[in-house]
Amino acid sequence: MKKLLLISQNFYPEIGSASNRMKQLFRRFSKQYDTKLLTTEPQYPNRAIYEQQKFWDEVMNTEKISRIKPRTTKYESNMILRFLLYFETMCQFLWRIVREKESFDIVYVSSPPISIALVGLFAKKKLHATLIVDVRDLWPASLQGVGKFNNPFFMRIAYWLENKIYQHADHIIVNSESFQTYIAEKGIDTQKISFVPNGLTNQEIAQGRKDRPMKMKQEPLTVIYTGNFGLAQELESFINMADHFKTMDTVRFEMIGYGAHYQTVTNAVRDKQLRNIHVHPPDTRDNVLQKLLQSDIAFVSLVPHPVFETVIPGKIIDYMGCGLPIIGMVSGYAKQTIETSETGFVFQHEEADEMYQKLNELLANPALREKLRNNGLAYAKENYSWQDNFQRMEQVIATCK
């Protein structure tokens, strides 16, 4: 039986697609291989929320999970503290690897942050193991995309490190097909790059396909946004949309999430005195999915920057799995996925009026919503099943020496 060491800064019970991805992989790998996980105490988006018992609702094999506890806190909206957290976490992980007495066949690291991939390079050499790097986002390109860190000296070093990671990884897993092209253009052999998207469990897929209870005629429809209120999401579009429809009693708007701009969003809603939009605090994945199942239309947006044309937000997969028509402002791979699956409508950021017209059409046309719902459910089952993902992962691991 192969021995695997997983290294990830994000893991259960943390919320977000990074944590969920590693939770699913750890569970599956633990059934197939002798698996150990090195991670942190839950801290994303902040430590305080994990004092609530509802976030600890699943059983995990804690004997195989080793956690560190960084001292850096209150990093969410401070880039310097965030980098300090990454550095401290990297150092603590490196110290654990130095002291590690077990041998492993495979080291599997989840990145970003890029510092975790650097830990993987060290672990590969120290443990004489095969290194698999799971690339969930393109760093440092995404830092430039949000316009928060563009120091030329720092970026040169970061891109150099990124190239070294790709070169020395024995295999690279990407969760967006567009990442394959980006990495291949850096001279990396495409044979060592595999696409494994985020996914849905069989239970989540079955839950999404259940019939919905009929809403009362006078009950408003719900347009919902879930996930990160971060630097890349550009949620002003959603607030402006709610503002545009504030005189209509046939629609309401909901937001559930976390992130650097959470307070900015709540302040904007308050300042505009919008009574048709409700902002909810972070919640468990199960509760968020239940809220999605009770909604009618879902929203997605990203900052208009070339780097974000390569990504597909995990929420799009969740929206499809819950049978929600999608409307929003994205481009590139995310736009292509929504249009190919025929699950919604996307617009450029200068096309707000056109988006409002399309939302009006969706609100007034239940047959169109049902068509998009069925398309999304079918596409999610065909393309985003964790069961299929595990088979792809196991094929990769089988080829690793």
- Which residues of the chain fall below pLDDT 70? 74, 76-77, 147-149, 213-217
Q: Are 108 and 82 in contact (CB under 8 A)?
A: no
CA 279/CA 274 separation, integer angstroms:
11
Whether the Cβ atoms of residue 127 and residue 97 lie closer than 8 Å to each other:
yes
DSSP 290-337: HHHHT-SEEEEE--S-GGGGG---HHHHHHHHTT--EEEE--HHHHHH
Task: Tell me the C-alpha distance between 170 and 337, whole Å.
Answer: 29
* SS3 state of residue 279: strand
Residue 362: the pLDDT is 97
Q: Is the dihedral of CA 24, 86, 70, 63 positive or negative?
A: positive
So what's the pLDDT on residue 80? Answer: 82
Name residues whose C-beta falls within 8 Å of residue 297's C-beta, 6 or more positions apart in sequence.
221, 222, 223, 224, 324, 325, 326, 327, 359, 362, 363, 369
Residues 224-274: tens digit of each pLDDT: 999 999 888 899 999 999 999 999 999 999 999 998 899 999 999 999 999
CA-wise closest residue to 232 among 251, 257, 208, 195: 257
234 Rama sector, left if φ>0, alpha if ψ -120 to 50, beta otherwise: left
The phi, psi pair for 275, rounded to 5°, reads -95, -5
Q: List the domains of the chain with CATH numbers.
A: 3-199+385-399 (3.40.50.2000), 202-383 (3.40.50.2000)
Residue 217's pLDDT is what? 62
Rounded Cα–Cα distance for residues 292 and 294 (Å): 5
Q: What is the pLDDT of residue 213?
A: 66
| DSSP alpha helix (H) spans, 61-131 | 79-99, 114-127
The runs of H, that is alpha helices, within 102-253 are 114-127, 141-145, 152-168, 177-184, 202-208, 236-244
What is the structure's pLDDT at 369?
96
Can you name the residues that pair with 67 across neighbouring β-strands?
Answer: 39
Distance CA 320, CA 377 (A): 6
Task: Please state at what angle helix 366-383 crosses helix 332-341, rounded to 10 degrees.
Answer: 110
Ordered DSSP codes for 216-236: PTTSPEEEEEEEE-STTT-TH
Q: Are 135 and 111 in contact (CB under 8 A)?
A: yes
